[in-house]
Chain A
Amino acid sequence: MPSPRSHLALVLASPLMLLLAWDGATRFSLVEQILLPAPATIGAALWDVLTRGYAGVSVFVHIGTSLWRVLTAFLLAAFVGVSLGLLRGLYPRIDAVCLVPFELIRPIPPLAFIPLFILWFGIGEVSKVLIIFYYAMLVVMLNTQAGVASCPEDKIRAARSLGASPWQVFWRVVFPASLPHVVVGLRVALAAALSILVASELLGGDRGLGFVISDASTFFKTADVFVGIVLIGLIGLIADRALTFTARRIVHWEGKT
């Protein structure tokens, strides 16, 4: 193991080296600017998009539209996914009913459904939100169910012997015991939701960061493609940090030694 200081130096040096190599490659015309713009060009494009908008629309409208879609779908998915996961974990009959339909859908990549959803629900908000929702919901549901199963049998027996009713066992024991798994499911679902968002926005509409990326690429505005990518990446990073921060307060006992 390197010392903490040299570890930090390596951590910081590697992205700097990449950036320098990238800058050098464009500066000495090793790659064409239309394929890979220089870092400074992307920086300028980012500033331009932030101050003057894209396609006549403020960038904050694009960001807001994307965030609205992803948050609506994610919150719905969290609610439905946790509820279904708990029901499947608690009631074998409900699990038996859900098993085959959900297992049939689960391995299908959500992007394969996009044309179908557009056919059914049009290119408006409904199909975009629904496609994110259904996939994120599956992820949350499966993790919640695993969380319910993770509660040891003896813990349930002990709670019953301490005087807890079946409802109290669920609400005071099984549900809190499942929360660490639920949190993992929410984080995975959030990352998936963002990637599906971009794909669904590529296919129609004139708002959203996915639209910015696909529109810019159509007109060979490669620097603007990178701007869209950077903004999506930042949103993903901030959302995941915020979720982890909140989760650590709720699931405060995890990892405590």
Chain B
Amino acid sequence: MSGHERRAHGHAEQGRIDAEGVFIRLGQGAEAFEAVQDVSFTVPAGEFVCVLGPSGCGKSTLLGALAGHIAPAHGALTLDGAAISGPHPDRGIVFQHHTLFPWKNVRDNIAFGPKMRGIPKAERHRQADEILELIGLGGFAGRYPKQLSGGMQQRVEIARVLVNHPRLLLMDEPFGALDALTRMMMQELLLDIWTRLRTTIVFITHDIDEALFLADRVLVMSPRPGRIVEDITVPFERPRRAEIVAEPPFGRLKRHCLDLLRPRPGTDTLPRLSPLGAPPHAR
């Protein structure tokens, strides 16, 4: 057992989320609107939760609030009882498109968090190499992000968050930009990592198959204003094989989700807005 796993097991009781009557407003002045409306839920430590919803339903905004990048207008959002205020390495976030630093090689990208905490070079490189083994990229420490495939870039992105031993792993459609085969491989890899680390995961997706394959629980959100319309417990036992998506119980649950997501007549698709409010560079 590696040092990383030992440490994660020692903290197995950490990572509980409580959301109580959360409202999030985005935009300013006349354009302001409620992106998330009266959302309440609880995630026990170590659970894998998917938030499923159509584009623009506020699911990314909710994730942004959990990360501490935006503050709710009303309501309480806590991790292990402590209010979430501002970003923290305890709550790592992975986006759809990688945010690796092109001027750093893979090892130094992963060692970014430890470096910010002032951990000496030899030690942070050791930690980075340990995580690289965990995600199966042991031989790529010296490569630069542009030399990697999309799937590998997302693996490094995940590793860069895991090196901080987060209590909560937030993922915003992390595999949305990958091709179908790579995505399936990444889903299995993520489940494998999660089985070993047992950190709480909140995973945003609009892909029903992905949500049902990965999650213990699926929170289904309605289009704007975003509310949770159903809290589904996924009954499939673990470890899950990729084949379960073709079996009847999976199909039944999928049809149920489809019904929930299908737009009601008369509700037009709303224009796409930046999930965190202000468009980039407008600050």
Mark A residues whose CB is within 8 Å of B: 92, 149, 152-155, 157-165, 168, 172-173, 176-177, 179, 251-253, 256-257
Contacts and interface: CB of A to CB of B under 8 A. Distances in A.
Contact of B69 (A155, A157, A252, A257): A157
A217 to B, nearest CB: 48
Interface of B: 64, 67-69, 86-89, 91-93, 95, 97, 99, 101-103, 112-113, 116-117, 144, 146-147, 160-161, 164, 276, 280-281, 283
A160 B116 CA distance: 10
Contacts of B64: 157
A66 to B, nearest CB: 35
Contacts of A256: 102, 144, 146-147
A165 B68 CA distance: 14
Contacts of B113: 162-163
Give the dominant DSSP class at B's interface.
loop
Contacts of B147: 256-257
Contacts of B103: 176, 179, 251-253
A155 B117 CA distance: 18
B283 A161 contact: no
Contact of B93 (A157, A164, A165): A157
Contacts of A149: 281
Given A158-B95, A162-B113, A172-B112, 20 more contacts: A149-B281, A153-B276, A154-B97, A157-B64, A157-B95, A157-B276, A160-B69, A161-B67, A161-B87, A161-B92, A161-B93, A162-B116, A163-B89, A172-B116, A177-B101, A251-B103, A252-B103, A253-B102, A253-B103, A256-B144
Give the dominant DSSP class at A's interface.
helix
A161 to B, nearest CB: 4
Given A157-B67, A158-B93, A160-B69, A253 B116 contact: no
Contacts of A176: 101, 103
B67 A168 contact: no
A15 to B, nearest CB: 36
B102 A161 contact: no
9 contacts: A92-B283, A152-B280, A161-B93, A162-B112, A162-B160, A164-B112, A172-B116, A253-B146, A256-B144
